[in-house]
A and B are shown apart, each in its own frame.
Chain A
């Protein structure tokens, strides 16, 4: 039996059909590949944004302090008295907040509690000095210090702050 001879147009028809099938297969394959690539990219992008939120690209600032430089040396506090018996208590007022009422009341009560205490009234001491700075010392502070020494003050009560 002789082989079937195809006419030329049949060759072309078969070729066309075959070509279409090939193209279809290629397109499908490409589609799958594309799907995989896109899917991977989305996943990878998600991982990267997590890394950013974790701080790897968030700006960080190394900062300095805004406070001034200290000029004052701290003193060592003088020890407190064992008792107020026999002490000289100086009262100093700041001309404010009725310290001329409270300080005498305090002084009188201390005399009741410690009969041999000596109370120097606020009327016998300078008024509390205003603030001074290390390079502009206030003369009032010096005067108060001298007055306390002159009076022989061993403890001080001052007021009133309000």
Chain B
């Protein structure tokens, strides 16, 4: 909502934002990051959605209006203009010298660290990372919202040093920053959301195997995966500008980014395509994809060898492993399936594409349930009473009779129950990964943005990796 005020102020129109108590700071910082140094905010005393309309009106009149008048008529204090220039000055200069404990305390005080111990980012360590890219240190990789700060190989490397990542991860990190910097990812929407959308990444192609980015059991907790994930979380803090209680408003907090790799050897075995190939990339190219998810939730444990029933179980997970009564009723899903589970589906004739077709067909909710969730759990898009919305949804062409999902009993009259799809075809991604010996699937329900970027390697990659003790990249190509 601060963005409307930003437009107004830049047009020479004094403005004020009405916000809940915890969002005053967010509005001010958001506006400052957009170039408006002194946004005015009128604070409403509490959570809007939990107050009856009568209470909302009363509070608006008695508590908000006086603040609105003051915000629009009281002269502004002499405001900040040094903040941006401070940021410019600090690039590349030594900002502090101290012991490791003193450095950690300094970074914590400035909110540059996540509270866990960091490796001090000295110039020498940063320059080591810069060897692993052909980009110049201050080339623009992306401009990241919300703070609209420029991500460069230099500051990407600084955050990577802090996180304890290895220099050879640099190409992956650059591609990951490009992915979240793509407007299609919608970082401005998911990065600071109260839904605590967690940004996560998956890597396809031979580079994931060469670098040891894990695709198997425990993958998101593997060392390389963790180090890359922590780097990206620090980048969201220090370059995108998402800080808890300020601009990262996740109600229960935001997790460190997860990093996955798809098990492409397992995919070859069952005849399924890696995700990046389905997106149009050559299989031997390496890519980084980005998406977001709310908290992980329960996994599915298929205990059947019948591929159709297994599909139905996954459809159940897709239908219900997303937020009920919170407005997120049609969020995109990323589906993680273990290799052995995927194998059962493949033997039943499923490809990823065919599986998606059947999941869309099966993952439905009774329209009444859909409407209940939307009306009582929505923050918007509701324009009337429950009965009004129900009629609207029942009349929607997507609502259909005779498509009750298989987990409902076929009681008399079941054919008359209208159901509504809970997922659209282009909203599903399927990744094969995880413990190959376990029968598991996991649905990640998240924000609407996704993006994929090709990883660019420096010309002397093979030489660098040989010196670093890695086997050559070509050994990790799957033929």
Contact = CB atoms under 8 A, between A and B. Distances in A.
A3 interface: no
A39 interface: no
Nearest to A108: B61
A135 B145 CA distance: 11
B94 A64 contact: yes
B188 A131 contact: yes
A145 to B, nearest CB: 5
Interface residues of A, number: 68
A84 B61 CA distance: 16
A14 interface: no
Q: How large is the interface on B (under 10, 10 to 19, 20 to 34, 35 or more residues)?
A: 35 or more
B290 interface: no
Interface stretch (A15-23, A26-34, A65-73): A65-73
B95 A161 contact: no
Nearest to B87: A70
Given A77-B9, A162-B49, A67 B15 contact: no
Interface in A57-109: 58-75, 77-84, 90, 92, 94-99, 101-103, 105-106, 108-109
B11 A145 contact: yes
A78 B81 contact: no
Contacts of B246: none
B218 to A, nearest CB: 29
Given A67-B90, A70-B84, A158 B188 contact: no
Given A59-B99, A63-B103, A101-B56, A79 B76 contact: yes
A66 to B, nearest CB: 4
Interface of B: 1-20, 23, 26-27, 30, 32-38, 41, 44, 47-49, 51, 53, 56-57, 59-61, 64-65, 68-69, 71-76, 79-81, 83-84, 87-88, 90-100, 103, 106-107, 112, 120-123, 126, 138, 143-152, 155, 158-159, 162, 183, 188-189, 194, 234, 238-241, 379-381
Interface of A: 55, 58-75, 77-84, 90, 92, 94-99, 101-103, 105-106, 108-110, 113, 128-136, 141, 144-145, 148-149, 153-162
Sort A-B residue pairs by CB-CB distance and give the 6 closest, nearest first: A68-B149, A159-B18, A161-B19, A131-B188, A68-B239, A61-B120
Given A63-B97, A74-B84, 5 more contacts: A61-B99, A70-B87, A78-B14, A97-B48, A109-B65
